[in-house]
Amino acid sequence: MKPFDYVRAGSAQEAVRAGAEGRFLGGGTNLVDLMKLEIERPDKLVDVSRLATEEIEDGDDGLLVGAGVSNSALAGHPLVRERYPLLSTALLSGATQQLRNKATVGGNFLQRTRCQYFYDVFRACNKREPGSGCDALDGINRFHAILGASEHCIAVHPSDMAVAMAALDATVETLKPDGSTRSIPARSLHRLPGDTPHIDHVLEAGELITHVVLPASPPKRQLYRKVRDRSSYAFAVVSIALALDLQDGRLANVSIALGGVAHKPWRAERAEGILEDSRPDAELFANAADAELAHAVGHGHNDFKIDLSRRLIVAALRDLSESKREIAA
Amino acid sequence: MYPVSLDVNGKTVSAEVDARTSLLDLLRETLGMPGSKKGCDHGQCGACTVIVNGVRINSCLSLAVSHDGDAVTTVEGLADGESLSPLQKAFVSHDAFQCGYCTPGQLCSATALLDEIKRGEPSVVTDGKVTLNEEEIRERMSGNLCRCGAYNNIVDAILSVAGEPA
């Protein structure tokens, strides 16, 4: 690991002032690992894990979640289990209890891809070394993107939590080094790779995630389903976060986000548009899934993901529209 | 170098550390407590699991300098003197290990697991009320690998102390 300076920030303001030349340290479960491999080489770590950002507060505008809340604390919070069950399930579907205890909400959003060519410093990777190429394109790309990828990068974002946040229309609140704040829809936090795949998200240098806000009245039917190679402690091959209401026999407030298929949590807007205000049936579900995946592209080993995603969307829609389980109003 | 002071198994210890030092290396190399094991050193195997401020974490992925002021329990702190904890006794009586390398992590992890159940914390296989059963144990222990494959006996050992103080 490359030597670095360590500072523990006493406040968010102090953190952003110090953070512009360094990296923020939350739980460190991804960053410290990448530093050991010297894929991440910060000169300075600004520890934000002790800031007063561990609260979860319920208010008229929704549930305010501090960026320093651990993944396990958020997943187990009574209000999250009751009102945002898909988020609780998504969090608990990720990693292990040891990692969830350490990993923070802010850090989960900002974790890097698990593409093996990103991790292998002897292979070409435009995300790790811009301009070096992408060995995943013609490599073992079973876990890679089928939507929104580019010729420069086919890596996927590994988070389960971020997929749930995108589906729930959560908002990410940040503080910038100049003291200003902004609200970013969770669905817009990450970006597609284009020709700059080394940039994962829209945050500026030194911009700190301070909170996440979950809408006060999410859809009443929610589901998170993750398809993976092992039943525990594995990244998604494909996952889906689905939320909807049934009003007078018609689908409403339909929100679909897919994980494991793109450089960011993928909001299935085409499918949502077809489903909204329609009566649920198998043909409608198939049409919606087909429309969403019409532009999906496989790269060989991951061709099966297109069919798998289609089936996962259809099955999730069927199960959730037939479910008897709704969250309390 | 950075000064750190923390409570390890009930004793206050202080040390000067390089910022790069992991909590695991602080315990093993600086404090002379080799119970916690270095398996993968990347958070994948769980051999380094310790309990910090009441919750289990991978000490290999955690910087020692960030734990100033924390309370750490390692496998060396589970027994009361010569008297093993109920979980340690159960591991012995159920043959819950072969080579033993993963065992300190398994024990710390399982000790914390029993507390998580008592606190009613859910796992992904929890449906409604949190209860301890084989499915829950297998899910909750998925961060601790055992290459000897003692999993069945580990699950039996944990089940046998469920309901007793860990």
pLDDT band at residue A50 using 50, 70 and 90 as cut-offs: confident
**High-pLDDT (> 70) share of chain B, %:** 98
A93 vs B63, B113, B124: nearest CB:
B124
B95 falls within a domain: yes
Domain with CATH 3.30.390.50 in chain A: 233-322
For residue range A62-105, what is the model confidence (pLDDT) as tens digits? 999 999 999 999 999 999 999 999 999 999 999 999 999 999 99
Assigned token pair, A234: 């594995």
Which residues make up the CATH 3.30.465.10 domain(s) of chain A? Answer: 56-110+157-214
* Residue B53 and residue B106 in one domain: no
Question: Is A102's Cβ below 8 Å from some Cβ in B?
Answer: yes
Q: Determine, for residues B121 and A72 on separate chains, whether the beta-carbon distance falls below 8 Å.
A: yes
Are the beta carbons of B41 and A36 separated by less than 8 Å?
A: yes
Across A4-25, average pLDDT:
92
How far is residue B50 from each of residues A118, A182, B56, B57, measured CA to CA in Å? Answer: 29, 38, 6, 6
H-assigned helices in chain A: 12-19, 31-36, 71-76, 78-83, 85-93, 97-102, 105-110, 116-119, 161-167, 269-275, 282-293, 304-322
- The residue length of chain A stands at 329
Across the interface, which of B22, B56, B68 has its CB nearest the CB of A97? B56
Q: Mean pLDDT of all residues in chain A? A: 96
- Chain B residues with CB under 8 Å of A99 CB are 43, 58, 61, 143
**Out of A6, A33, A75, whose CB is closest to B19?**
A6
> Number of structural domains, chain B?
2
Q: Report the top-level CATH class of A5-48.
A: alpha beta
**A129-141 pLDDT tens trace:** 999 999 999 999 9
What's the average model confidence in pLDDT over B135-159?
98
Q: Do A29 and B55 touch (CB under 8 A)?
A: no
- The amino acid that residue A77 corresponds to is H
Query: Mean pLDDT throughout A187-201?
Result: 98
- Give chain B's mean pLDDT: 96
Is B61 found in the same domain as B17?
yes
CB distance B57 to B8 below 8 Å = no
Cβ-defined contact of B122 to A92 (cutoff 8 Å): yes
DSSP SS3 for A252: strand
Give ∠ CA A172-A173-A176 in degrees, rounded to 5: 125
- Written out in words, the top-level CATH class of the domain with range A233-322 is alpha beta
pLDDT tens per residue, range B58-117: 999 999 999 999 999 999 999 999 999 999 999 999 999 999 999 999 999 999 999 999
Q: Which of B77, B100, B128 is the last residue of a domain?
A: B77
Verify that B100 and B67 share a domain, yes or no: no
Taking residues B15-41, report their average pLDDT: 98
Question: Which pLDDT value is given to residue B100?
Answer: 98
Of B15, B50, B77, which residue constitutes the final position of a domain? B77
Q: Do residue A76 and residue B57 have CB atoms under 8 angstroms apart?
A: no
Return the SS3 of A27: coil
* pLDDT of res. B128: 85
Fold of A56-110+157-214: 3.30.465
What pLDDT score does B162 carry?
84
If contacts are CB pairs under 8 Å, which of residues 69-88 in chain B contact chain A? none
pLDDT, average across residues A213-237:
97
Q: Are residues B92 and B112 in the same domain?
A: yes
Domain of residue B121, CATH code: 1.10.150.120
> Chain A closest CA to B92's CA: distance in Å?
24
pLDDT of residue A21: 82
Q: Pick the closest to residue A96 from A265, A273, A234, A230 (CA basis).
A: A234
CATH code of residue B63: 3.10.20.30
- Are B59 and B114 found together in one domain? no
pLDDT score of A20: 78
**Confidence bin at A52 (pLDDT 50/70/90):** low
Q: End of a domain among B56, B77, B98?
A: B77
Residues B71 and B137 in one domain: no
B166 found inside a domain: no
Which of B42, B56, B138 comes nearest A101 by C-beta? B56
Q: Is A69 on the interface with B (CB under 8 A)?
A: no
The per-residue pLDDT for range A278-304, each reduced to its tens digit, is 999 999 999 999 999 999 999 999 999
**What pLDDT digit, counting tens, does each position of A143-190 carry?**
999 999 999 999 999 999 999 999 999 999 999 999 999 999 999 999
| Residue B57 belongs to some domain of the structure | yes
The parent domain of residue B58 ranges over 2-77
Report the DSSP beta bridge partners of residue A221: A244
Across B30-50, average pLDDT: 98
Give residue B166's pLDDT band: very low, low, confident or very high (50, 70, 90).
Answer: very low
3-state SS string for chain B: CEEEEEEECCEEEEEEECCCCEHHHHHHHHCCCCCCCCCCCCCCCCCCEEEECCEEEEHHHCEHHHHCCCEEECHHHCCECCECCHHHHHHHHCCCCCCCCCHHHHHHHHHHHHHHHHCCCCCCCCCCCCCCCHHHHHHHCCCCCCCCCCHHHHHHHHHHHCCCCC
- Residues A19-38 have a mean pLDDT of 94
> Which of A41-55, A76-90, A214-228 is least confident?
A41-55
pLDDT of residue A53: 66
ipTM (interface predicted TM): 0.97
Are B28 and B69 in the same domain? yes
- Name every chain A residue with its beta carbon within 8 A of the beta carbon of B41: 36
